[in-house]
Amino acid sequence: MTQSAKERVETFLKVFHGESAPSAAVLGEFMAEDAIYWSLVPAAPQLRGTQAIAQGIEKQFGTYRDCRCEIHAICEGEGIVFTERTDHVVLNSDNRTVSARICAVFEMTSDGLISSWREYWDSDEVITQMGVERSALEDDLS
């Protein structure tokens, strides 16, 4: 039985929030080869292609570990999946837990791959929890 777009995104988020950053090969199982990932609209740069996305995610995982995703709401329609979730991560620098409430939009291809993934969240909330300057957070996202 084929997964719905919603189920596909739920499976992807479980993989994404695993113990380590997913590789380009693993991302390729879920994402179109020329997919776009925008980790913080509009502040972060867009990453295009599974290789660039994997490198960007690996850089993020250099800052934190033990990422846990708590989905609050998820819905799909017309090739788009919306999620509202809270990501909880442990900072590598001092073992503090930081949480971010995130709304994400996943655009899906007709064959069930993610073609675009955009995330919207309050960077000031995360900066406050981390106790860093905005530039430090932006460096982690670019």
Q: What is the pLDDT of residues 13-36, one digit of tens each?
A: 998 887 777 777 888 899 999 999
Q: What are phi and psi of 62, to 5 degrees?
A: -70, -20
Amino acid at 132: V
pLDDT band at 141 (very low <50, low <70, confident <90, very high): low
The better pLDDT of the pair 65, 103 is held by: 103
Query: What would the pLDDT profile of 98-135 be if each residue is shown by its tens digit?
Result: 999 999 999 999 999 999 999 999 878 877 887 776 66
* Number of domains the chain contains: 1
CATH number for the domain that contains residue 29: 3.10.450.50
pLDDT band at 140 (very low <50, low <70, confident <90, very high): low
Per DSSP, the three-state class of 14 is helix
Domain range for 53: 5-141
